[in-house]
Structure 1
């Protein structure tokens, strides 16, 4: 299931993101969710992308499918059903001066107008019983939670030579399913604020384990012999607007650079993964200066993004605590865009319209 041009298939959280600003206005709804962001970012950067999942036959599902198609994704396995409602995530922006911590937003599934909740539904649908017989070719398979469909697909992709990336936010109710996902994955990435030590879950001895640490950067370990942690500090940036999607950009950037430098995780060393993660950190940092999980793509073209990220990665010092010219340039363009273009939004007031 390997391809010449890098491509990614994946399953997990595909949701409609609705940003609720401080004044109560709402940004135009768009594709979101961890799996949605990672696949669509890589699609925008030129990869093939094939999302696999079941959405509702509603306006939200239509928008998600449309956003994937805009980046050239293969949506044949992104199915819709009248028996489902597409998940909708409301991202409430926070006043950082009044907040007690560094949070820029909070997420909820509850509609701010009517209170109804459009939550994800993780029970596998009978429609997907035959999916494994028709899996699209891919260099990488991504899953952000251990569902039966996702784990079975991960095991099949791994057996066919693809690289499996598992990015969980929780162990979930089925520990056995989580263990299967962890064992199938060549790369496991998670946030320290959500998961602790995964040593008890039998990660692959030759796999890559990445733990993100918020404003403190991240750490990773790889290799069968030396399992010590390598630490990468966070980049310092001129300002922070919104940290939503930061981890997704880091993942997408890491994969983009890994597959530009090597034929997957089996041929890389510690230095290669360090470079790829630093590249991902640059993308993450840039996006934190924009609004929304994929705001970076609204400011710079994919070519600009890649060139700037490579420049900043190469210029990084040992400490990483500096404001690179790349970030100053981007901050200028963010300000220019904000001053000349009205923030996107529409007049909908309730999830019933989605």
Structure 2
């Protein structure tokens, strides 16, 4: 794939997780840092869509540590518009160590460890409060075409509700269990995409007949339910050269959003099966290609 040099003309605003992915390769006691880039679901989708030529607006509350400023600079380097990225003492920054190594059985393994740049050993995300979310929304001179979010924090839900009321396409990629906030986020969304590993039970979707639900099935492809129809499965795109599945889901989401944009960004109520399946299969093909490279955005760098 070649980098998209021309601006595509659509805007996506994204809120959620923007950690620093610290990708490492461990061989015995030797550790080699492959790269350090902005990651997380929202971070990857914003940067990949920017690579596709979209105008992307990551909305992130980062701290004022060196890593926090590094993340903002990294988003800019990928082509994102960072006017909604703040670096303040009450913000939060997470470093996610992604360690590729060989297990005792001789097979490749991936280990993860989250910590903050100021010494905490836990995830340190900060999401928009209700007041901050309202202020952010009120500050916008124009509405985005798409709002993407990956956490059902109260401020994110409010943004989803406000954008939904204004006709913006709302895309939710949950990383949390099904609870009250999860369902509030789903209700405010047009498209909800999740993996069968995180959400094998799709019964929560039965309460809605106006949405598109997408469940990825790892090596088995994916299945979807459009509005009030039955679930339908699409076969996977096999890649015999796969070496790293990190970020495949983010490539699926980003490419699917981009493909919908190429089709005029139809509303879910107007989306026909043939267009939907074309976009989903295109997204699967690109996601399959992405796993040929190390790292969530290896496809961009290669």
Structure 1 unpaired stretches of 5+: 300-354
State the Cα distance separating 1:95 from its structure 2 match.
2.8
Q: Which secondary structure does the structure 2 equivalent of 1:121 belong to? A: coil
1:75 paired residue among 76, 79, 82: 82
Number of the residue aligned with 1:146: 152
Change (3 A) 1:207 1:117: same
CA distance in 1, matches of 2:157, 2:292: 35
CA distance in 1, matches of 2:165, 2:201: 27
Aligned residue number for residue 22 of structure 1: 26
Identify which of structures 1 and 2 has the higher relative contact order when contacts are C-alpha pairs closer than 8 Å and 6+ apart.
1
Tell me if structure 2 keeps the 8 A contact 1:182–1:204. no
Determine which of 156, 165, 181 is the counterpart of 2:162: 156
Name the counterpart of 1:182: 186
Structure-2 separation of matches of 1:202 and 1:131: 33
* 8 A contact 2:94–2:115 mirrored in 1: no
What is the CA-CA distance between 1:97 and the residue it aligns to? 9.0
User: For the residues of structure 2 that align with 1:6 and 1:264, how far apart are their CA atoms?
Assistant: 13
The verdict on how the C-alpha distance between 1:194 and 1:5 changes in structure 2, with shifts beyond 3 A counting, is: same
1:48: how far off? Answer: 0.7
Where does residue 250 of structure 1 map in the other structure? Answer: 252
Instruction: Report the counterpart of residue 297 of structure 2 in structure 1.
Output: 294
Q: Which residue of 2 aligns with 1:307?
A: none
Residue 10 of structure 1: CA displacement? 1.0
Aligned to 1:37: 44
Equivalents in 1 of 2:72, 2:115: separation in Å?
22
TM-score, reference length from structure 1: 0.75
Q: 1:138 to 1:104 in 2, by over 3 A?
A: farther
- The answer to whether 1:206 aligns with 2:213 is no
Identify the structure with the greater strand proportion. Answer: 2
Greater C-alpha radius of gyration = 1
> What's the counterpart of residue 192 of structure 1?
196
Alpha-carbon RMSD across the aligned residues, in angstroms, is 2.4
What is the CA–CA distance in structure 2 between the aligned matches of 1:74 and 1:248, rounded to whole Å?
19
- Report the number of matched residues: 288
Q: Specify which of 46, 49, 60 is matched with residue 53 of structure 1.
A: 60
1:272 corresponds to 2:278: no
Q: Report the equivalent of 1:217.
A: 221
Paired residues of 1:142 and 1:164 also in contact (CA < 8 A) = yes
Contact preservation (8 Å) 1:258, 1:265? no
Deviation of 1:110 (Å)? 4.5
1:21 alignment partner, SS class: strand
Residue number in structure 1 paired with 2:110: 105
Question: How far apart are the structure 2 equivalents of 1:54 and 1:118?
Answer: 17
